[in-house]
Amino acid sequence: LHKTKLRLLRGRCYALVGQNGVGKTTLMNAINTGKIDDWPHHLVTAYVDSGSNVDPAFEAQIVLTYLIESTKRSKEDCVAKLKELDFTEEMLEGTIGALSGGWQMKMRLVRAVLIQPDIYLLDEPTNHLSESAVKWITDYLCNLEHPTVLIVSHDTTFLENVCTDVIHYEERAVWGPYRRLVHYKGRMSDFVKLQPQAKHYFELAATDNLKFEFPDPGRLEGVKTSTQKFLEMEHVDFRYATANKNTLTDINLKMSLSSRVVVLGANGAGKSTLIKMIVGETVPTNLGVCKFYVHQNLRVAYVAQHAFYHVEQHMEESPVAYIQWRFRDGYDKEKMESEAFKIPEEEQKAIDEFNLEGIWSRRLRAGVLEYEVKKKNIREKDNKYYSRDDLMAMGFEHLIKQTDEKIASKEAGLDLRPVTTSEIQKHLDGFGLPQEFGTYGKVRGLSGGQKVKLVLAAAFWTNPHLVVLDEPTNFLDREALGALSAALNEWGGAVLMISHNKEF
């Protein structure tokens, strides 16, 4: 932005719109911290961030204590407002991190309401929210009389329902390389009538400006048709160690390469828990009783609900450097270092006691998966084969997962794929992340939408058979959302997703 004006009137609700990366969140932060020249500092602001950055210290706080301390309101006021949104006593006394993404966003919104500010600054306030919660915040904003509201959101229906004005990041030749904020009176639909090129705000389709290119999934050993199952769950239960009841009960699911599955349910119902089980982060509580089959060579691209956790440790690197770090060894290093794959102390002890040096190979013999085991101080020609069930019974669960993952990566040719700057940048181009951001920029400098593009690009580096998306629409602008929708429709692999975005 350069030589631009920002004029906000009391009692108006403004939609702040523009493409990913133009600086919408940066502007919101600047207003919230008073870093804009001549800003009237007597005004009280309440900033609701998008929840994109996971802060362990923040998530360790107790919900009710955090609200009382950060709003300076009484315990009774805080409890009453939380109960309006169906928070339970257990949630109030629990940590913020124990809440699902949707409940965390509700808590942020409640905090803003309790502050009673002059200006509400809402950055993607409908992220992770169920339909009933979106209705609550919509009704609340529509009934406000005096405060001013500034909203960044890619939920066009929400903006259409609550906003009285639009502030648009605009480029014009006479302004040179800079953008300015241009104010339009009226709703989003009125704005689009005046600016027809912005019609993508109401249409979900790929444009000439942006198309995503997803790689072909490749073959899956033993799977001969697109309708042959590679995943099956029957009567699956799951319960967290600290919980006194199941989060999931009697889950049944089959998937093939032609599957397009959406997981629906209220905030906190267990949607993300189900997805974590499918990608291997958790296992069924009733394993051994239920049926739980996942093809051993299945390559899964997983974009988590808090997508940015993937890149949090790489903020000072370029996107290219992040992908080089993650895949330079011929497999997904990030996945191998995750809790789901890391060998725990107890298992390492079992490995040492067995004198196991490593698993050399794997074969399918008479319908049984067998692994070639090399023991220390034993010649390679004396290696023995053990069935998967036998090794699991010995306690080698994570070692088997690591072996299967490395074999699946080799099947995709990851050990031969060059991780050069040019090869990775070409891949990033297919996800709308050009060289200025991919090669020369840092992850820290990317907008929320650009980080999602990077995480998507990294997930697809393995040529996956299944893409698992937990709220993928939260940070993508309308144009990128259209590109993602079109690419998934044309792609030859399976899709499993959680989304509150009906249109998507």
DSSP code string of 210-270: B---PPP----TT--STTSEEEEEEEEEE--TT-SS-SEEEEEEEEETT-EEEE---TTSS
- Clarify whether residues 399 and 434 are in a common domain: no
Confidence (pLDDT) at 198: 77
Q: What is the pLDDT of residue 87?
A: 93
The amino acid sitting at 313 is: Q
Q: Which domain holds residue 400?
A: 345-412
pLDDT digits (tens, 9 = 90+) for 74-124: 999 999 999 988 899 999 999 998 888 888 889 999 999 999 999 999 998
Distance, CA of 401 to CA of 467 (rounded, Å)? 19
pLDDT at 401: 92
**Torsion of Cα atoms, 152 then 15 then 17 then 169, to 10°:** -120
What order of strands is seen across the sheet that includes strand 165-171? 45-48, 119-123, 148-152, 13-17, 165-171, 179-185
Q: How many residues does the chain have?
A: 504
Count of domains forming the chain: 3
Locate 488 and state its tokens.
């998934």
480 shares a domain with 370: no
336 within some domain = no
Burial of 483 (0-12, 13-18, 19+ CB in 10 A): buried
State how far the Cα of 253 lies from the Cα of 468, in Å rounded to an integer.
Answer: 14
Residue 395 belongs to some domain of the structure: yes
**Spatial distance between the Cα atoms of 68 and 82, rounded to a whole number of angstroms:** 12
49/149 same-domain check = yes
Q: Which of 497, 496, 495, 468 is nearest to 301 (CA)?
A: 468
What's the pLDDT score for residue 52?
A: 63
* CATH number of domain containing 103: 3.40.50.300
| DSSP-derived 3-state class of residue 495 | strand
Q: Do 19 and 57 belong to one domain?
A: yes
CATH number at 397 reads: 2.40.50.40
Asked whether residue 6 is domain-assigned, the answer is: no
The Cα–Cα gap between 43 and 36 comes to: 13
Query: Exposed/middle/buried for 215, CB within 10 Å: 0-12, 13-18, 19+?
Result: middle
| Nearest partner of 25 among 138, 116, 148, 154, judged by Cα | 154
The predicted structure's pLDDT at residue 22: 86
29-65 pLDDT tens trace: 999 998 888 888 899 999 998 776 667 788 899 999 9
Task: Output the pLDDT for position 493.
Answer: 95
337 within a domain of the structure (yes/no): no
> What angle is formed at CA 501 by the lines to CA 124 and CA 30, rounded to 5 degrees?
10
85-101 as b/e: b if 16+ CB within 10 A: bebeeebbebebebbbb
Sequence-distant (6+) residues with CB within 8 A of 382 are: none
Cβ atoms of residues 206 and 487 within 8 Å: yes
Cβ neighbours of residue 381 closer than 8 Å, sequence gap 6 or more: none
3-state secondary structure 346-411: HHHHHHHHCCEEEEEEEEEECCEEEEEEEECCCCHHHCEEEEHHHHHHCCCHHHHHHHHHHHHHHH
Predicted TM-score of the model (pTM): 0.70
CA separation for the pair 320, 440 (Å, rounded): 9
Q: Are the CB atoms for 169 and 28 separated by under 8 Å?
A: no
143 and 41 housed in the same domain: yes
Write down which residue in 357, 383, 412 finishes a domain: 412
Please indicate, yes or no, whether residues 279 and 178 belong to a single structural domain of this protein. Answer: no
- On whether both 286 and 317 belong to a single domain, the answer is yes
Please check whether residues 321 and 397 belong to one and the same domain: no
Question: Does 55 map to a domain?
Answer: yes
Same domain, residue pair 384 and 466? no
Q: Do 504 and 473 touch, CB atoms closer than 8 A?
A: yes
Burial class (CB in 10 A: 0-12, 13-18, 19+), 497: buried
Residue that finishes a domain, picked among 371, 386, 412? 412
Q: Which pLDDT score is estimated for 18? A: 87
Is 316 inside any structural domain?
A: yes
Look at residues 374, 397, 412 and tell me which one is the last residue of a structural domain.
412
The position carrying tokens 């929210």 is 129
- Residues of the chain falling short of pLDDT 50: none
User: Are 444 and 402 in a shared domain?
Assistant: no
Same domain, 357 and 294: no
Q: Give the CA distances from residue 244 to residues 238, 239, 240, 241, 247, in Å, rounded to whole numbers and listed in that order.
A: 11, 8, 8, 8, 9
In a domain, 407, yes or no: yes
Structural domain includes residue 207: no
Looking at the structure, tell me whether residues 367 and 305 fall in a common domain: no
